[in-house]
Homo-oligomer: A and B are copies of this chain.
Amino acid sequence: MRLALDVMGGDHGAGPNVAGAVLAVKAIPDLTVALVGDQAQIEALLAAASAPTDRIEIVHAPQFVDMKEKPTDALRKKPDASIFRCWQMLAEGNVEGLVSAGNTGAVVVGAMKTRKFIKCIQKPGIATIMPTARGRCIIVDVGANVFPKPRHLLEYGVMGSVFARKILGIAEPTLGLMNVGEEEGKGHDLVQKTYDMFRASALRDRFVGNIEGRDIHRGTVDVVVTDGFTGNVVLKLCEGVFEFVMNLVNQDVLGALDTEKDKGTAAVKGLLGKYHYSAFGGAPLLGVDGVCIICHGSSKERAIANAIGVAATGVREKVNDAIVAEVEALPKEE
């Protein structure tokens, strides 16, 4: 199996990307990673690492997209940037998947440019994995498609459900539609129409209906379906609330301790590590014909290695074949 890594993506440059790839190829015996980026930098980093070099390749890309750059501008001005080279390799069948911690918009724009989507899927959606009181859930979409149609959301439900089964190991994933109340008929036109489509689909038995914001972390469902605008706000808000509450805990709870402050500090540190995004291996861009995993910009080697691992599992488990089969079973669009 062969995957491409956008070595230039992320807040920390090539270092953690190359280190993460080395970890991944050591852990996965049938994996080859193509490191796409500045050849000189990659060679220097590899020389310092003890990597199984027969399964690590270098693909030189002379440019890269900055984290703050406008994605469509980047595509026009830097067609040879590392992330776009990764997409080209996927489109040409040189790799089966790609991983990037770079500019998320550029990753999505690259996908839209090559248009290498799964048969029957109209628009890709970004899924993210979130910890809950009952384990984990997956939320689709968190930002690829800020003004979707009902059909897109239905397809996100199918894809999220297949991902939950194949990657998270949940046998019969339940689905919920993010809304402002549980009752049928709540919300705006988009969610009302989407609700009806789910009820009429093969997913109906696992579709619990509308859910509210507080249901996500209660673990009410395994797959949360939402538009990319709401989903993106949700994703970043969770980060913000977690940060806010943990600061309060540091200050007020640890601050109240005296002789057991060390024990408390270690427990807080454990919590932060356990619920850090890096533990969840990145966010898949579902709907791409191939596997694409988007990592948080601040990912370090552990997060990159986990993301490569998730991509490898996606390829091995033939997630996309299952998606095609399930989308084909949906009612045809009118």
- Give A residues with C-beta under 8 Å from B: 68, 70, 105, 131-133, 143, 146-147, 178, 180-181, 183, 185, 187-189, 191, 212-218, 226, 228-230, 232-249, 252-253, 255-260, 263-264, 266-268, 270-271, 275
Contact = CB atoms under 8 A, between A and B. Distances in A.
B245 A245 contact: yes
Contacts of A213: 232-240
20 contacts: A105-B181, A132-B244, A180-B228, A212-B236, A213-B235, A213-B240, A217-B237, A217-B241, A229-B230, A230-B233, A234-B234, A237-B238, A237-B241, A241-B241, A242-B245, A245-B245, A252-B267, A256-B266, A256-B267, A257-B267
Contact of A257 (B68, B147, B264): B264
Contacts of A253: 249, 253, 264, 267-268, 271
A132 B241 CA distance: 9
In terms of DSSP, what is the predominant structure of the interface of chain A?
helix
A103 to B, nearest CB: 11
How many copies of this chain does one complex carry?
A: 2
Nearest to A262: B256
Residue of A187, A235, A256, A268 contacting most chain B CB atoms (<10 Å):
A256
A42 to B, nearest CB: 30
Contact of A188 (B131, B229, B242): B229
A255 B267 contact: yes
A246 B244 CA distance: 12
Contact of A252 (B143, B244, B258, B271): B271
A128 to B, nearest CB: 12
Contacts of A105: 181
A188 B146 CA distance: 6
A129 to B, nearest CB: 15
B70 A183 contact: yes
A241 B243 contact: no
A147 B188 contact: yes
A248 B233 contact: no
Given A187-B146, A255-B267, A217 B240 contact: yes
Contact of A215 (B143, B240, B246): B240
A191 B229 CA distance: 10
Contacts of A239: 213-214
Contact of A233 (B147, B180, B256): B180
A230 B240 CA distance: 16
Contacts of A181: 105
A263 B255 CA distance: 10
A276 B30 CA distance: 52
A259 B260 contact: yes
A242 B240 contact: no
A233 B267 contact: no
Contact of A234 (B132, B233, B270): B233
